[in-house]
């Protein structure tokens, strides 16, 4: 793999007005495509594919999920270029508290999942899984509360999987478990605002967090304008990079929780950079998802220790890139996707 130099650049990076975009050829020359197996099915997949880019500033990860179109995926490429070619703001802290992530597993598997996040005193629990019932969600949350104890933080994430009536029914049923917040119970922003108002009307003290309404929206600030949420979830890749995410968090004016997609340690390192640069960090971050992978490209891997992740250098290893190298046809697929998304960024 060649190590690029900062030459032959063209085009302005979307959302990064002082940055310029390396050529597609420069990015492709430094690319490594990996496929890392998961410990269990998550978001319907059993392997996580990612294209990693090495540049003058380090490593960046380009790993939009396969169903995302080029316009949405181009923001992920912008974040990868920021990480690998331009670097991040100066950190304000050196350790990032992290929550455990509990997939939509049966309740009896909860203790084993939580054991992968040593020292974590907050857990995010996936709910509203297609094909499951509300009782499955309640049992899973109850098991998390039992394992972590009364003083731990427990939050749920529905990924917009409920309609209005389902969301109200589910959140009323889950409220006795003293949730820290409920993340994206419904998808449309106006319905999110209605859910929030209805909970207040019923006297249920349960903050609402917006995730997809921020990272997938043409206007992420609409959440704050409609008073649809109490908290915003910000993710580096879908928002086009650390600096863009910081700007959106500031303009929303709401407490922010930094989270990640299902990333290798390269992607998680970008999330750490965002969490380290926030003026205020009031909540544990959703950056512990490397523990869901059965492998990684860095050694040491960015897995949770003592409930936190360090802010520091990342050791990506060539032998791990080779071990988890994707099949040749998948490498070609990702390189073509890189070129298409680069064209979107270069067009402005």
Which element (helix H / strand E) includes 252?
helix 242-252
Please say if 124 is a catalytic residue. Answer: no
Of the listed 124, 216, 235, 317, which one is catalytic?
235
Output the furthest CA–CA distance in the chain (Å, rounded): 60
Sequence-ordered list of residues with C-beta below 8 angstroms from that of 175, at least 6 positions apart, any chain: 204, 206
Classify strands 95-97 and 100-102 as parallel, antiparallel or unpaired.
unpaired
From 124, 126, 216, 317, the catalytic residue: 126
Q: Torsion angle, CA of 196/197/198/204, rounded to 10 degrees?
A: 70
Element (H, E) at 32: strand 31-42
Burial of 1 (0-12, 13-18, 19+ CB in 10 A): exposed
Question: Residue 253, exposed/middle/buried by CB under 10 A (0-12, 13-18, 19+)?
Answer: exposed
- Cα–Cα distance between 11 and 32 in angstroms, integer? 23
Q: Is 317 a catalytic residue?
A: no
Active site residues: 126, 235
């Amino acid at each position: 793999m060649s190590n690029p130099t900062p030459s032959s650049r063209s085009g302005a990076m979307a959302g990064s007005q002082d940055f310029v975009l390396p050529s597609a050829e420069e990015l492709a020359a430094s690319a490594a495509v990996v496929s890392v197996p998961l410990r269990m099915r998550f978001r319907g997949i059993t392997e996580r594919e990612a294209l990693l880019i090495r540049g003058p500033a380090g490593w960046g990860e380009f790993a939009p999920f396969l169903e995302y179109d080029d316009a949405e995926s181009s923001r992920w490429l912008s974040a990868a270029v920021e990480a690998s070619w331009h670097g991040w703001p100066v950190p304000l802290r050196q350790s990032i508290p992290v929550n455990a992530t509990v997939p939509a597993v049966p309740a009896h598997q909860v203790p084993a999942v939580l054991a992968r996040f040593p020292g974590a005193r907050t857990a995010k629990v996936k709910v509203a899984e297609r094909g499951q019932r509300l009782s499955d969600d309640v049992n899973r949350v109850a098991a998390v509360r039992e394992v972590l104890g009364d003083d731990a933080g427990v939050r749920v994430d529905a990924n917009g999987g409920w309609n209005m009536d389902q969301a109200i029914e589910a959140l009323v049923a889950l409220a006795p478990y003293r949730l820290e917040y409920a993340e994206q119970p419904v998808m449309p922003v106006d319905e999110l605002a209605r859910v929030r108002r209805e909970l207040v009307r019923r006297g249920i003290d349960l903050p609402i967090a917006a995730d997809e309404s921020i990272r997938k929206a043409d206007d992420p600030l609409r959440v704050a304008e409609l008073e649809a949420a109490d908290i915003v979830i910000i993710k580096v890749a879908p928002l086009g990079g650390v600096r863009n995410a910081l700007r959106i968090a500031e303009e929303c004016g709401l407490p922010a929780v930094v989270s990640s997609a299902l990333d290798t340690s390269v992607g998680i390192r970008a999330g750490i950079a965002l969490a380290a640069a926030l003026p205020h960090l009031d909540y544990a971050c959703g950056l512990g998802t490397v523990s869901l992978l059965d492998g990684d490209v860095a050694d040491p891997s960015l897995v949770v220790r003592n409930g936190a992740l360090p802010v520091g250098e990342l050791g990506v290893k060539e032998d791990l890139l080779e071990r988890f190298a994707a099949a040749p046809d998948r490498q070609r697929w990702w390189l073509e996707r890189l070129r298409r998304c680069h064209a979107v960024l270069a067009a402005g």
